[in-house]
Amino acid sequence: MDDSSRYPKMIVPVGHVEPVPRRLRALVGSRYVIDTTRAMYVWAWPGYPQYCIPLGDVADGVLADEGRTMPLGIGGGRRQTLDVDGLTRRGAGWVWDDTAPEGIRGYAGFRWEAMDAWFEEDEQVFVHPRSPYTRVDALRSGRPVRVEVDGVVIADAPSSVMVFETGLPTRYYLDRVHVDWSRMVPTDTVTSCPYKGTTSGYWSVRTDSAVHPDLAWAYDFPTRQLSPVAGLVAFYNEHVDLFLDGEPLPRPAAVSRAQWEKERRG
């Protein structure tokens, strides 16, 4: 059974445009090449928006038109090379053309990784822009949670911190003392989230029949909004058997990492 009916979905339509009510800056090397309070959001897919930057707020001389157009899902744009103090990044961005939504025509867009760092006001933003329509709440709960893999109990906790994030299944963060660490195998995996921060650890789970890669993770130093999950461990609902209040929860539909990256990053 699929769990997707148990949590809110993304509702912003593709092509939606609206203002970014924050100062936005982007750094390449040691130079800010974007500094604007006039940016726009555009949703090229439902999950999260892209930044669109007025050309007048891009540093002079850093963009070079490559002489070709590129399809962008909700229109097209003229592909651009970014050249900053000897750092050259081909295909780093584009200028939206007349086939794009009206509110962003003539604005510049950029691949996220083309910049060394992005900032909203004075705080760095990771992975992709935060959607103003996404909520991420971390709530303490006294409802017991049990995690099983291949019929083996991996964690059995009397309480948790539940993380409710728009468009994603509820995640259950558990105190480490309730995890069977004899079954946990640390890995080198690191992931980042624009709302929660960067993970401090991932673990595979070893049962008597198999080793299941990267089933659990922790944020030792999450963003301040998610501070209740600091040091706690969560498991992918998609790949374990979860019991809440003693009742089994249906698994969400499993999505491959490649599919998820495409949804999250575009």
Specify the pLDDT at position 2. Answer: 54
Domain ranges within the chain, ordered by starting residue: 17-125, 135-265
Specify the pLDDT at position 3. Answer: 62
Burial string for 36-64 (b: 16+ CB within 10 Å, else e) reads beebbbbbbbbbbbbbbbbeebbeeebbe
**pTM for the structure as a whole:** 0.84
Fold match between domain 17-125 and domain 135-265 = yes
What separation in angstroms does the CA of 257 have from each of 6, 114, 117, 167, 263?
22, 22, 24, 16, 10
In sequence order, the 6+-apart residues with CB closer than 8 A to the CB of 200 are 218, 219, 220, 221
CATH fold for domain 17-125: 2.170.150
pLDDT tens for the chain, 266 residues long, are 456 567 777 888 999 999 999 999 999 999 999 999 999 999 998 889 999 999 999 999 999 999 999 999 999 999 999 999 999 999 999 999 999 999 999 999 999 999 999 999 999 999 999 999 999 999 999 999 999 999 999 999 999 999 999 988 999 999 999 999 999 999 999 999 999 999 999 999 999 999 999 999 999 999 999 999 999 999 999 999 999 999 999 998 765 444 434 333 32
Specify the pLDDT at position 10. Answer: 80
Specify the pLDDT at position 95. Answer: 98
The answer regarding whether domain 135-265 maps to CATH 3.30.530.20 reads no
